[in-house]
Amino acid sequence: MRKMYRGLLATGVMVVALMLNPAAAQAGSGHPWCTSADLKGCLWAWDGAYAYNYSVSCAWFNSDSNWSDDCVFEETPGGMRNRASSLVNESTHGNYARLYYHTGYTGAWACIGPGEYWDNLYNWWFNHGAGLGGYQTRIDNEIAGFKWSTSCG
């Protein structure tokens, strides 16, 4: 029941975000925008805690090792790298999203599970990969890329 509630909440947040800012539903240059017709199966990121900053958001259907060139609009000239403050994993295959501190799927990582909505990344850390760059660093405004995975380890 709790998972279903989180999934419904996350879906509602996405619908409101797209209604308030239709431009966010359009792809920027050079990024793998969420290609799913119903916007499911994607990892969503917002530049703002609690997904309040609807003007700056991004979604990926495929893994992406470098968020620097993603969702490049006037308000995000450097893409989403080191900007995300809230996330939702809308994976339709039950996959985790490994969030990496460095580009190229390197450095420490954290995992957001399928159907999870993290409303404030200040409360989360890169907690996998002891000894790697970024280990035990807060995730807020520090994500460089992500990779779909069947596990966190």
CA angle 73/74/77 to nearest 5° reads 75
Walk me through the domains of the chain, giving residue ranges and CATH numbers.
2-149 (2.60.20.10)
Residue of 150, 146, 137 lying closest to 88 (CA atoms): 146
Q: How far apart are CA 140 and CA 79, in angstroms?
A: 15
Neighbours of 30 (CB within 10 A): 11
Q: How far apart are CA 40 and CA 37, in angstroms?
A: 8
Q: Are 95 and 55 in contact (CB under 8 A)?
A: no
Find the DSSP H helices in 21-75.
Answer: none
**Predicted confidence pLDDT, tens digits, the chain (153 residues):** 544 444 444 444 444 444 333 333 333 333 456 766 667 899 999 888 777 656 578 889 999 999 998 776 666 677 889 999 999 999 988 999 999 999 999 999 999 999 999 999 999 999 999 999 999 999 999 999 999 999 988
